[in-house]
Structure formats: structure tokens, C-alpha cells
Amino acid sequence: MPIAIALHVLASVIWVGGMFFAWMVLRPVAAGLLEPPARLALWRGVFAGFFPWVWASVGVLLVTGLWMLFAVFGGMAGARWHIHLMLLLGLAMMAIFLHLWFAPYRRLCRAVDAADWPEGGRQLGQIRRMIGLNLILGLVTVAIASGGRYM
């Protein structure tokens, strides 16, 4: 069980921490310093490097979360409210990421390849909003994970 817990926490730190850095640090600096072509190319490269880590995190979170759910609680019936809420929020975050990956991220890549900067900007804006939503959900999930059992 300690391995499952450690992997679960590491995967969540990688995903939520990466979103926090991108939203709170990289985004404002890139927007203030770079013109749209350079900014869009930067984000395409950042996402190309970060999204494989998100895919790995999603897989690890699903496997370790379900492993702990059944090993510790014997399934959903034995889990307290905060476990149910963590699962729900995690699945919502994964669904948002899947949509982001298969729709606006793909369109962003095509727009950058075609030097279609207005379309790239629209797609980056959509990605930004989805990452912002996922960041909020992720931070709430971390708060629930760390304090839920004490409520």
C-alpha cells in the first residue's frame, strides 16, 4: 500500500503542480514578453513536453486510486464521502484533459504548423480555460485528499 500511496501522490503533484506553474508563472511571462507567433510556438512545445507526463499521471492515478479503493475500503461501499468526491473530481479532470488533448490541442498544433496565428490564439485561449478549470478542480481535490478524513 505505501507504494500505491506514494505513486498516487507523485502523479497528482506532477499534474497539478505542472498546471499551477503553467497558469501562474509561465502564462503571464509569455503573454508579456512574446509576440503571438513565438508565444504559440512556445506553448505548443510546452504542451508537447508536459502532456506525456499528464497521460502517465492519469494512468497512475487511475490504477493506484482503484487499487487503494478496493484494497483499503473493499470498494465504493466502504469508502467515506471524501473518497467518493476525490474519485468524481479526478474523473472530471481526466475527461477535461481528454477533450483538451483530442480537440483544442490538436487544432493548436495544426494552426501553429500552418502559421494561422489567429486560430492558434483561439485554441490556446480554449486550452487556457480548460487548464484553469482543471487547476481549480485539482487544488480542491488536493485539499479534500489531505483534509477530508478529518471532517
Per-residue model confidence as pLDDT tens digits over 95-151: 999 999 999 999 999 999 999 999 999 999 999 999 999 999 999 999 999 987 787
Q: What is the pTM of this model?
A: 0.93
Q: How far is CA 77 from the centre of its chain?
A: 28
Rg (CA), the chain: 17
Residue with cell 502559421: 115
| Helices vs strands, H then E, count in the chain | 6, 0
Q: Domain-by-domain residue ranges, the chain?
A: 2-150
Is the four-CA dihedral 49, 94, 97, 136 of positive or negative sign?
A: negative
Report the first-to-last Cα separation within the chain, whole angstroms: 23
